[in-house]
Amino acid sequence: MRARLLCWCLLVGFAVAMLVVSVRAEESSGPLRAGIIGLDTSHVIAFTKRINDPKATGDLADVTVVAGYPGGSPDVEASAGRVGGYTEQLRGMGLEICDSIDELLTKVDVVLLESVDGRPHLEQVRPVLAAGKRVFIDKPFAGSLADALEIVRLSKEHNTPFFSSSSTRFSSGFQAVRKETSEFGEVKNCVASSPMSIEPHHPDLFWYGVHGVEILYTIMGPGCETVTRAEQNKVVGVWKGGRRGTFVGSSEYGATVEGTKASGSAGKYEGYAPLVAEICKFFKTGKPPVDPEETLELFAFMEAADESKRQGGASVTIEEVMEKARKANAARK
């Protein structure tokens, strides 16, 4: 009798376990639920419309934006003046608006950190990485190089991938130059440009010049050693082997390239669509399309540009600004 009872209990337990597994499998087969932190940039509207488009295909069809946390920075007009309007617009698009990041994390699988102000990114991303949720961090990656270093460290500590990028990086022409099959051959010299409006709470290029610097790094790759900024809107970097990369503040997004095989334009900026596709692909695969170490060097380049400016246009090494940021992080622990 006891043997039969024990057998029956085991069978019931097994059936319940299989039911739970089946339910979980059914739940996980649906689109990934994405949440947005920071509803104070036009990106949140544009990205949500693309991802939640009923006609979306491919990786976009496997992600749905379901919730948002407004955030906002009262001392940045670009944030304070827009967060209310964008929040209500997203509410009207069906998103649930949460009162905290912790609440948001209970409702989503992946996160887009969109706060237009880079300064709160470190504290906003801490609980996301600790919860093991993949996250895209929009530009500017952080409000300082020290914060950028700490975000990368936390990602490694929690074994949770992220990536950060401007939308300019994924334009097809800029991507093509980086490939071994590029018509330009090896790039010897590149001049990249973008608008460069400045926000006083951030290093000069972090706020908007990052778009052009992202183009520059897409084409040149990592390996810059020294940075010189003798003019407000012009920054020159020297890469290993003497290759040169220059950022110029301009009304145009673009780049010209001098290579071992050919020289000319590297193409035009193609908008948000390529970036949004990469974000959704990353959410599914967990494989960042941009190496965090390249992102760190990119921000070190911009920090070195400010340091060169402070020194009257002197040459500044990437390593010295990185070491300064490491010491700043060590001092605050």
Residue 91 exposed, middle or buried by CB count within 10 Å (0-12, 13-18, 19+): middle
- Cβ 64 vs Cβ 96: under 8 Å: no
pLDDT at position 4 is: 52
- Cβ 196 vs Cβ 209: under 8 Å: yes
318-331 vs 292-310: helix crossing angle, rounded to 10 = 100
Evaluate whether residue 277 is within a structural domain: no
* pLDDT tens-digit map of 80-128: 999 999 999 999 999 999 999 999 999 999 999 999 999 999 999 999 9
Domain CATH code at residue 123: 3.40.50.720
The pLDDT averaged over each successive group of 10 residues in the chain (333 residues) is 47 42 45 97 97 97 98 91 96 98 98 97 98 98 98 98 98 95 96 96 96 98 97 97 97 97 96 97 98 98 98 98 96 83
Evaluate whether residue 307 is within a structural domain: yes
- Cβ 208 vs Cβ 222: under 8 Å: no
pLDDT at position 156 is: 98
Residues 195 and 199: their CA atoms lie apart, in Å, by 13
Residues 268 and 38: their CA atoms lie apart, in Å, by 29
Does 213 share its domain with 296?
A: yes
| Residue 62 tokens, joined | 């496997």
Q: Which of 131, 148, 166 lies at the terminal end of a domain, its last residue?
A: 166
Does 226 share its domain with 110?
A: no
Does 160 share its domain with 172?
A: no
pLDDT at position 175 is: 97
Q: Cβ atoms within 10 A of the Cβ of 299, count?
A: 28
Evaluate whether residue 242 is within a structural domain: yes
Evaluate whether residue 252 is within a structural domain: yes
Does 93 share its domain with 216?
A: no
229-264 burial: b if 16+ Cβ within 10 Å, else e: beeeebbbbbbeeebbbbbbbbeebbbebbbeeeee
Evaluate whether residue 207 is within a structural domain: yes
Does 207 share its domain with 325?
A: yes
Does 173 share its domain with 223?
A: yes
Does 190 share its domain with 312?
A: yes
Does 99 share its domain with 139?
A: yes
**Residue whose pair of structure tokens reads 């069906």 in the numeric block:** 94
Closest listed residue to residue 162, CA positions, set 328, 37, 260, 270: 37
Could you give the number of structural domains in the chain?
2
pLDDT at position 333 is: 74
Q: Which of 166, 184, 214 lies at the terminal end of a domain, its last residue?
A: 166
Domain that holds residue 222: 168-271+290-331
pLDDT at position 122 is: 98
Does 305 share its domain with 174?
A: yes
